[in-house]
Chain A
Amino acid sequence: MSTRLHQGGRLIDRSKQVSFKFNGRRLKGYQGDTLASALLGADQMLVGRSFKYHRPRGIVAAGPEEPNALMNLGRDGRFEPNARATTTELFEGLEAASQNHWPSLEMDVGVVNNFASRFMPAGFYYKTFIHPRHAWKYLFEPFIRKAAGLGKAPTDADADIYEHYYSFVDVLVVGGGVAGLQAAKVAGEAGAKVLLLEQTALWGGRAPVDGAEIDGKPAQDWIDETVQALEGMENVTLRLRNMGAGVYDHGYALGYERLTDHLAPSDAPRHRLWRIRARQIITATGAIERPLSFAGNDIPGVILAASLRDYVVNFGVSAGDRTVVVTNNDDAYRTALVLKEAGLDIPAIIDARPDGGGALMEEARVKGIRVETGKAIAKVKGGKRVEGVSICSQAGEGAEQKTFACEAVAMSGGWSPVVHLWSHCGGKLTWDDAHSFFRPDPTRPPLGADGESFVSVVGSANGMMETDTVLADADATAKSVAKTVGGTPKSTAAPKASPEPQASMAPVWKMPQGAGYELRSKMWLDYQNDVKVSDVELAAQEGFESVEHTKRYTTLGMATDQGKLSNINGLAVLADSLNAEIPKVGTTTFRPPYHPISMGAIAGEASRELFQPIDKTPIHAWGEENGAEWEPVGHWRRAYCYKRPGESTEDAVNREVKAVRESLGLLDASTLGKLMVKGPDAGKFLDMMYTNMMSNLKPGKCRYGLMCTENGFLTDDGVVARIDEDTWLCHTTTGGASRIHAHMEEWLQTQWWDWKVYTANLTEQYAQIAVVGPHARDVLQKLGGMDVSKAALGFMEWKEGQIGGFDARVFRISFSGELSYEIAVPASQGRAFWDALHEAGQEFNVTAYGTECLHILRAEKGFIMIGDETDGTVIPQDLGLNWALSKKKDDYLGKRAQERIHMTDPNRWKLVGLESVDGSVIPDGAYAIGDGVNENGQRKTQGRVTSTYYSANLGRGIAMGLVLNGPDRMGEVIRFPKVDGEEVHAKIVDPVFYDKEGEKQNV
């Protein structure tokens, strides 16, 4: 059983006990524990179930490479799935639950998959569920979806907040082990601005655990001194719990800082995403130990040798009284020595190398540890826990020679440098035969905008396997990087570490090398996704020669650990099966992030009230106070209607519609785009932008205009006012303000750069209020000021002056068919002007109205609305707007496109009014059915509804729609099926339902 040793544990504080819950059970750990070390300390060997076969899984590693110990953490708004126990620091009250089992971790029904595992090899899903085709959707997929998945999806909104931080440095150093510390020190001393990130809560990496000595002192002393020196440098920033997550183009990198994960829930930001621009990046990300592939290597109690050492040295935790060590290299002997030192038994060290190891092996033998060279594990005994191992010859096929009873197996298959960050942005790798690993190829680095390398790798991430070479490498590289960024490195020598002589390792990809199928189908490569040696071999046999294809076919390395333990072993097996060399097979692609980061960190501040900026007009607050029902229009919120107490939405809209037609309405039209276009060529420019003529508009006059894209489709509309000889003011739709401004600028900057035209977006400078209805003039005259009589200010004219003491620009334009003035005042005075209009309008039953009323009024008049009658496929000709297409001009945007055959097709659907026969409202978007079926066997259609409303003024439903040959079919009745199976019959009519002669607006 795993347990807490009575002494040891350099990171824990035994005087501070911490209680936490695992699967509802209350357990104890110490301050300084990770969740993983606390679980082991509490004899919780079984921590989860594998994805496919639901096999029992134990902790196998001590860092971010851990594939098994994935937890559901927390609850409600702080629930998080798939958290690694090994990277989760323990705090009082932590709640964790294991994943992927039902009904319980100990008793899991899904384990039947395990017994069926021989029937579920690689590609099982692809092969089995492909026929019959329809069964996938209705039978197989729902079943597999239910069975699949590790953590649960959170159901509550995230209760935490997050933030970003932009950082700009000369040198970013990722990794705070001895290599990273030395690199940061060298670059800092050279005067460079340095940021050093370390993913754990502690500086120094594994050097103290491994017993390194630097400059004649224990590694920890050197680490403490170096950190102190770095803290004294103003140009160096040190961050713990901040993982270098990804490297991107142009020296961009992400740091994932976990601010409160190690604390009980708080209001402080939980994570902070560092968005870093670095001139140079040094990665000192260390190396990850590889498992060995032997039968039963996934049984809880089989742990990576160096990780087990971490647990003993850092946390005073053992995985069992008796540990068998199995290795192909010298490093694992350190684990044996550490365990022995802690008073635990080592029944044997199984070394696959015929001649065993070097000095460390001798030391182990001197300490009385039995070493079996040239041997392999034939099989691990046990189910939910290791009970023992049988050994055999590594060179053979697995005939069991001896059995050792034990509770734990410490394995080491060698090391893989963490090359992820080097590779993210294109750095290439080279195969190192001596150590059997891929390391960065310095001749093929990631290149920056200047074509030069911007990432360097130092230490064991660069394939250096002894402390002395690690430090020398970091020192030399940092000096050269510091020079690149203009620093002056000191000429001090690199720190010296005591020699660590090691015998060379032997590549061992299968144990024993001649293992038969029975054993190979129990050798796990990918613990989380249940990929075995036999699966990769099967993929090779079936013709998957590319490592990327094999990965997808077998799911090797596709789990949440992204193959940190399994990739190299898997591709070595693939290479062996293909009889190819490992470097020829290559690696899969390393993609950021290095280790999963939270969605919250990516979103940063953009949550809750800061999710998205919402544009508010100067009159917005009045709406809040007066029952506005808001609807989004572009990024604005506009009032759909203003509900009085007790009123339904429908009632409010109907009241507003009648009040405007009968008396006086006010609309907040501030959101309409207002683009100033000025210059000697402004008239020529606007003649290109609009389909109709704008250059001949007289100052003081207004004209309604249409804008098309170069493909001829209607994109925006609005009233243009000519301000003076070379200045025009173009009104756009609410959603079109920024878009049309950008559209104008694009044409000016990229096509007509020599035309003398300037534009300015003045949308927000003005509050604009539409004063509409038979009493519109009365209320303005009551406020007093400029003359707004018919004679002084005719229809489609504008004027500047004062109204009621407000600076105003008054446009006599109408989108409702009523007598109407649109009045622009400076935004700072908008609310006051709105209030003044309300006060003066009391006697005229002044009524604020919203966008729905606006829509109904315009629809009664047959005015089109961009976004309703248009959808990006509609041209002005479809809407009967030929009158607005100037024939005097040689060109305008869209003119030539509108001459294409498809555009001039007489069968294009055209705009008509639609009147339901029974007076009801036709559903929005409804299609009119035609006769027969099309080539897909679908019912033919002959038109669709683009706008549809209940008109309180007319007491019936009215609609507009695009209908095949519509304008030629006046009076004909067409049928619109509804979703409830009923049909609405509608008569094709003229789209102008109200005041066809336009007399009401022209008074």
Chain B
Amino acid sequence: MSNAVSPLQGASFDGFARIEEQGLRGMITLRGDLADGGFGKAVAALTGCDVPDTRRCEVKGDYAVAWMSPDELLILCPHSAAEAGVAQLSKVLSGTHYLAANVSDARAVFRVSGEDARQVISKLAPVDMSPEAFGAGDFRRTRLAQTPAAFWMPNDKTIEFICFRSVADYVFALLSRAATPGTQV
């Protein structure tokens, strides 16, 4: 609805990489038995994606499914589709042990792009960002400096992040400082 706004309403910064807040994104926390066939079918029916392997994500159009823990997935979808998505999962999984919750508004989404985008992350997250170690299809739930974050790479020059909504301006400042022109490693 028109009243809904993302925390930084699309703020951006141009350093040696470009930092952009991404606006509203639908997100569903889904917990259950990842190895269960019925669970996988429910995920596929909603997203078109298979259940991803450990520390991986699957992407299909507007939908993506990311591995969060041995019994938790994060489903990404259009913001307006999240409530319906929870309802659909609840219907299909009814009678099994699962948890599905709309967490779209608990989060902020950022995009870091550019030739040296990986360096921005290497300054803030204890993750090997070399191309051979992290690329498209990888997903990492980690921290950015002092706050939890998770990220993946839609392509080789772009990283997308999620963090908690309450720290959106901290994360924006963090990414911007790390991308200050002239501070490439």
Contacts and interface: CB of A to CB of B under 8 A. Distances in A.
B84 interface: no
B128 interface: yes
Interface stretch (A608-616, A909-917, A942-950, A962-970): A608-616
B87 interface: no
Contacts of B174: 605, 610
A617 B106 CA distance: 10
Interface stretch (B42-50, B59-67, B161-169): B161-169
Contact of B101 (A163, A765, A826): A765
Given A758-B31, A762-B106, A164 B123 contact: yes
A741 interface: no
Nearest to B101: A760
Contacts of B24: 828
A618 B97 CA distance: 33
Nearest to B2: A832
B97 A758 contact: yes
A760 B173 contact: no
B61 to A, nearest CB: 23
B7 to A, nearest CB: 7
Interface string B119-146: 0001111111110010000000000011
A827 B31 contact: no
B6 to A, nearest CB: 7
A606 interface: yes
B81 interface: no
A760 B166 contact: no
Contacts of B185: 165, 272
B99 interface: yes
A828 B169 contact: no
Contacts, number: 127
A167 B130 CA distance: 9
A863 interface: no
Nearest to A767: B105
Contact of A765 (B6, B97, B106): B106
Given A605-B178, A829-B3, A679 B170 contact: no
Contact of B164 (A168, A680, A764): A764
5 contacts: A268-B182, A764-B105, A827-B165, A828-B105, A833-B3
B123 A676 contact: no
A197 B2 CA distance: 54
Interface in A256-277: 268-269, 272, 275, 277
A756 interface: yes
Given A764-B106, A829-B3, A268 B183 contact: yes
A613 B133 contact: no
Interface in B31-69: 31-32
Nearest to A617: B166
B68 to A, nearest CB: 11
A28 to B, nearest CB: 30
A827 B147 contact: no
B183 A166 contact: no
Contacts of B166: 615-617, 636, 764
B102 interface: yes
Contacts of B104: 765, 826, 828
Nearest to A678: B99
B103 interface: yes
Interface in A593-620: 604-606, 609-610, 612-618
B167 A613 contact: yes
Contacts of A612: 146
B5 interface: yes
Contacts of B128: 166, 168, 277
B118 to A, nearest CB: 11
A764 B165 contact: yes
A805 B4 CA distance: 12
B133 A168 contact: yes
A168 B130 contact: yes
Contacts of B105: 764-766, 826-829
B13 interface: no
Contacts of A636: 166
Contacts of B165: 618, 764, 827
Q: Which 9 A-B pairs have the closest CB atoms?
A: A832-B3, A615-B166, A758-B99, A827-B105, A764-B106, A168-B128, A828-B4, A613-B170, A765-B106
Interface in A748-764: 756, 758-760, 762-764
Contacts of B97: 679-680, 756, 758
A275 B126 contact: yes
B3 A806 contact: yes
A831 interface: yes
A246 B164 CA distance: 34
A251 to B, nearest CB: 13
A613 B29 contact: no
Contacts of A766: 105
Given A760-B103, A828-B6, A610 B170 contact: yes
Given A606-B145, A613-B146, A758 B123 contact: no
